[in-house]
Amino acid sequence: MVLGIIAMILGGAIFTLRGIGDAAKLKQVDADFKSLDSGLEMYKLNAGSFPTTQQGLRALNVKPTTTPVPRRWVQVMKSVPKDPWGADYTYRFPGKKRANDYEIMSRGPDGVENTEDDLSSQDEP
For residue 55, the Cα-to-chain-centroid distance in whole angstroms is 16
- Per-domain residue ranges for the chain? 2-120
Query: Is the bond leading into 64 cis (omega within 30 degrees of zero)?
Result: no
Residues 73 and 46: beta-carbon distance below 8 Å: yes
User: Rounded CA gap, 62 and 64, in Å?
Assistant: 6
Q: 2-120 domain in CATH 3.30.700.10?
A: yes
In the DSSP assignment, the letter for residue 102 is -
Looking at residue 5, what is its pLDDT? 64
Q: Which residues pair with 92 in a beta bridge?
A: 103
Q: What is the pLDDT along the chain (125 residues), one digit of tens a residue?
A: 665 566 566 555 555 545 556 788 999 999 999 999 999 999 999 999 999 999 999 999 999 999 999 989 999 999 999 999 999 999 999 988 888 899 999 999 988 889 999 999 998 76
Looking at residue 17, what is its pLDDT? 46
Tell whether pTM > 0.85. Answer: no
Which run of H or E residues covers position 78? none
Q: Which residues pair with 82 in a beta bridge?
A: 88
Cα separation of the two ends of the chain:
47
